Amino acid sequence: MVSTYFSYSYITRNLKQSLTRVEQQQDVAREAAYYKAHIGKVKSVDDFMKDYRLYHYATKAYGLEDMAYAKAFMKKVLESDLSDANSFVNKLVDKRYREFAAAFSFNGSATPVAQSENQTDEMIGLYTATRKSQVDALAGDSNYYSAEIGNISSADQLLNNDRLRNYVYSAYGIDQSKWSRDTISQVLRSDPSDPNSYVNTTFASQLSGLNADLAQARSDVTAANSRIADYTAQLSQPGANVAQLNVQILVEKHHLESYASSISSLSEQIGTIGGFVDLAGAFEFSSDGSLPSGVSAQTAANVTITKQKFDDSKSAVYSAASPLNEAFAIRQFRTAILKINSVQAFVSTPGVYEFALGAVGLEPANVSPATVKAVLESDINDPKSYVYTLKDNRYLELARAFNFDAKGNLTTPLVAQDSAEVLQIAKDYVIGAVKSASTATPQQQAAVRAQATKDASEYQQAIAGIDSVSDLLANRPMVDFILLAKGLDPRKVSTEFLKKIFSSDLNDPKSFANTESDPRFAEIVASFNFDSKGNVARLPMMGPQKRDQFRETQANYVEQSLEQQQGDANPGVRLALYFQRKAGDITSAYDILADKALSEVFRTTFDLPDSMAAMPIDQQAKFVDRFMKIKDLSDPAKVTKLLSRFSAMYDIRNSQSTGQGQSPLLNLFQGSSSGISDSTYLAIAKLRTR
């Protein structure tokens, strides 16, 4: 039989080729093709478990083939909530069950919601920032007005300055969509104390008639209300003509609507004229639009009045930004957003609709609900969709903040990474950091864990803001975090290399990512929801599996097949390959001791007797820490060196056992234990320590 050392060394030097050969074997390729063709049709756990080939393919991929018969048990595993520490699978000691459950998303990758918690928090932050920026902008406008009004020398110069003109129009209630520039220019040149001035002859002269009409309209309202009250009282009188009275009531109500409309129109006209008169009186321009020598456009008193009128005109902005009103709006939004289940519900809920539009800087009164509905139903990944035709980033920002499909129904949040992936990356990062500090003092280990946990929390928050591959690669600290979580050295991975990795087609076995010797890079790409253009997208699932889950299952199946085939020829090679595959997940001595195969590798490598397994677990852990540095298991080179020693020691240990009927490997994976006594081991251990 070829030595374990030679076989293992040959396979690890040519691991990718070895895996490719196994992958191309007829039976392996046939099962992989069946899995790929049928997993997308699975709708439930029961569907999955009823298909023998699918189910057994997956259980083998995760090293649970011997548990495939226990369907009731495995169903509970698959239906467990991985985020719940008390769920069935999280209470199992063997990590393989959790890995198996994590390979499927039978409950969906995410729950359809109008907004995720991150989206809601971002919108609230945007609302607060927008309100503040609006107030800051008003203050800036006032400061600009104060600084520049003294430099104005004519009415035309004032009107030619967009910022000053808009400030004056707002202060005096002038709607520039209704009034021409020439009209306003003539008002500015008017002297309100001159009965023959333009503002008086054209506008102020109308006030008497308008006020009379307004008084009449208000009188008509009073009379109509009186008649309605009278007719209503008659309805209850004996012999009343109810039909006729109801008709008369309806007629009077119609009159009321007409009178109310007149009152609104007349009040607006009177207010506009009053604004014109005030505007004329606020400036010192002569009838030709110039200023008398040595005279400013406004007196100091009128500058103050104009600025006060401007602030009054923006009272809604100041009010919305007040701490009390802002806090109320936020509470109202947080409560109401949870009840939104469609675009129609969104536009019909003022507390949500007005808040959201205000957050992106849109004025609800100036936007059609139909436009907003079309925006929210747009596909932001399609540059031809409606939202892009508006050429306004505020609408795009609004569309990104909510999760509605083309029919206005709820869909899942559009994120760079699903929550399960984010949690796994964060978890792997913390594990790696803790492992690197395995030889440090308890205080140092606690500090490392605390910092790693903080870094992981920051990653979970920051990833929500990633919208494309470009965004991700531009954030090198985030990229380094991901690489470290995967056990890769960021110093050896360039951004240019990662660009090639992320631009690869994972469905093409010849793509750059798939031909890279280290499969972890393809795993990183698969964990993100980027489309072929590098933008965040809702990638289709394959039944109960996402892209990365499917890829991991197929890769695991090939690895398990390789290990089993090598184990048939030489159990030691299977042990070495198994240890190599699991090394990155080992965070403490207890992880090794909890796995019989890993324990066997450890004992064989350091020539320790099997009776060690009968010792108290804490004593065993001390031996592991004495002979092995857990942090070294994150270094592939050191793992290879360790397993080279194991393979040599395995050959020495088993040189006498060739031809035995029972494979020692079978015992390791089926739970047998050594029969050597503690006293024998202790005697040997004492000799080794001398």
C-alpha 321/C-alpha 671 separation (Å) is 67
pLDDT at 208: 93
Average confidence (pLDDT) over 575-599:
89
Least reliable range by pLDDT among 50-64, 270-284, 371-385, 671-685: 671-685
Residue span(s) of the chain under CATH 1.10.3700.10 come to: 1-109+541-569, 570-659
Instruction: Write out pLDDT tens, residues 98-115.
Output: 999 999 988 655 678 999
Using the predicted structure, report yes or no on whether residue 685 has a pLDDT greater than 80: no
pLDDT for 527 beyond 70 = yes
DSSP state of 298: S
The pLDDT assigned to 134 comes to 94
Q: Note the pLDDT of residue 151.
A: 95
Q: Answer positive or negative: Cα dihedral of 111, 115, 116, 117.
A: negative
Q: Identify the band that residue 296 occupies on the pLDDT scale cut at 50, 70 and 90.
A: very high
For residue 586, pLDDT beyond 90: no
What integer is the mean pLDDT of 376-403?
A: 92
pLDDT at residue 686 in the model: 39
Please state, in angstroms and rounded to a whole number, the distance separating the CA atoms of residues 333 and 317.
18
Cβ atoms of 448 and 455 within 8 Å: the answer is no
Q: Is the pLDDT of residue 630 over 60?
A: yes
Say yes or no to pLDDT of 689 above 50. no
pLDDT at 393: 93
Does residue 533 carry a pLDDT above 80?
yes
Residue 439 reports pLDDT greater than 90: no
Q: pLDDT for 674-684, tens place per residue? A: 343 434 333 33
Q: Read off the pLDDT band of 658 (50, 70, 90).
A: very low
State pLDDT tens for residues 311-321: 999 999 999 99
pLDDT above 70 covers a percentage of the chain that reads 94
How many Å apart are CA 494 and CA 516, to the nearest integer? 14
List Cβ neighbours of 658 (8 Å cut-off, separation of 6 or more). 1
Check whether 118 has a pLDDT greater than 80: yes
Average pLDDT of the segment spanning 124-153: 95
Higher-pLDDT residue of 163 and 611 is 163
- pLDDT(1) > 90: no
Predicted pLDDT at 657:
47
Percent of the chain with pLDDT over 90: 69
Q: What is the pLDDT of residue 315?
A: 94
Q: For residues 177-216, b (16+ Cβ closer than 10 Å) or e, as one string? A: eeeeeeebbbbbbbbbeeeebbbbeebbeebeebeebbee
Mean pLDDT of the chain: 89
Cα 394 to the center of its chain, rounded Å: 19
* DSSP helix, strand, coil percent of the chain (3-state; round to 5): 70, 0, 30
Higher pLDDT, 668 or 524: 524
pLDDT for residue 661 = 42
State the Rg of the chain over Cα: 39
Q: Which residues pair with 228 in a beta bridge?
A: none
CATH superfamily of the domain spanning 570-659: AGR C 984p-like (1.10.3700.10)
pLDDT at 683: 39
Kindly report, residue by residue over 496-509, the tens digit of the pLDDT: 999 999 999 988 88
> Which fold does the domain 1-109+541-569 belong to in CATH?
AGR_C_984p-like (1.10.3700)
414 vs 219: which has the higher pLDDT: 219
pLDDT at 304 over 90: yes
The string of DSSP letters for 480-511 reads HHHHHHTT--GGG--HHHHHHHHTS-TT-TTS
Tell me, letter by letter, the H, E, C secondary structure of 45-105: HHHHHHCHHHHHHHHHHCCCHHHCCCHHHHHHHHCCCCCCCCCCHHHCCCHHHHHHHHCCC
pTM: 0.62
Q: Which residues contact 479 (CB under 8 A, 6 or more apart)?
A: 472, 473, 490, 495, 498
Mean pLDDT for 135-162 is 96
